[in-house]
Amino acid sequence: MPLVECPECDHPVSDQASSCPHCGHPLAEDTKAGAPTPSTKTPSTYESVAATRGWITIVSGFLVTAGSLLPWRTATLAFLGTVNISGTEGDGMITLVLGIVIMLGGAVVVSQGSSTIGALTALAAGGLALWITYVSFQSTLTVVELVNSGGTGRASVGLGLWLVAIGSTGSIVGAGGSLEGSVKAKPTKS
């Protein structure tokens, strides 16, 4: 019983099988007969999933970038009125660059169907953006508590910091999933 490669996942399959036991792809009659598989093939399921997650990464990078430009702290003070402190007045410049890197990493994943380098780049940038967001949340919550307890006004976490938090978390999910898809899309041959 000779083995042939599945045209979808490249795993070895019996030439008598009607479908691949690994991915379920139906095997054509010419593949069963041992004919060589064509060199151009449709993207595998894993590559399609990786590309979809690449789009999630791009959108998440956009949220990080947009959030970096919006207010991270908002305070309404008795004699000063409303004061907004945007992300670009501090760590937001770093997250702005990281958001662009996340979008580029996602674009590489989408353009190639799967890309370990693109996914790893977006994953690292998303992790760093999330860490910066955590630190910024801690300092912002300290200021919010101080202003709110003093009775001189009201303060809150701004929309920008929330968007950076959501976007950096989404980039980790999207890039991590893309990384998983890119690894599965290229099975090792034994």
Taking only the tens place, the pLDDT of each residue in 120-168 is 999 999 999 999 999 999 988 888 888 888 777 888 899 999 999 999 9
* pLDDT of 64 over the 60 cut: yes
Q: What CATH number matches the domain at 45-185, 3.40.50.10710, 1.20.140.150, 3.40.50.300, 1.10.10.10?
A: 1.20.140.150
> What is 11-76 written as a DSSP string?
-EEETT-SB-TTT-PBPPHHHHTTPPPPSS-PPPHHHHHHHHHHHHHHHHHHHHHHHHHSEEEEEE
Taking only the tens place, the pLDDT of each residue in 16-31 is 888 888 888 888 654 4
Q: Boundaries of CATH 1.20.140.150 in the chain?
A: 45-185
| 63 burial level (CB within 10 Å; 0-12, 13-18, 19+) | buried
Q: How far apart are the first and last CA of the chain?
A: 18
Alpha carbon of 18 to those of 27, 28, 50: distances in Å?
Answer: 5, 8, 27
Taking only the tens place, the pLDDT of each residue in 80-133 is 788 888 888 888 899 999 999 999 999 998 888 777 898 999 999 999 999 999
Decide: 47 and 8 in contact? Cβ < 8 Å.
Answer: no
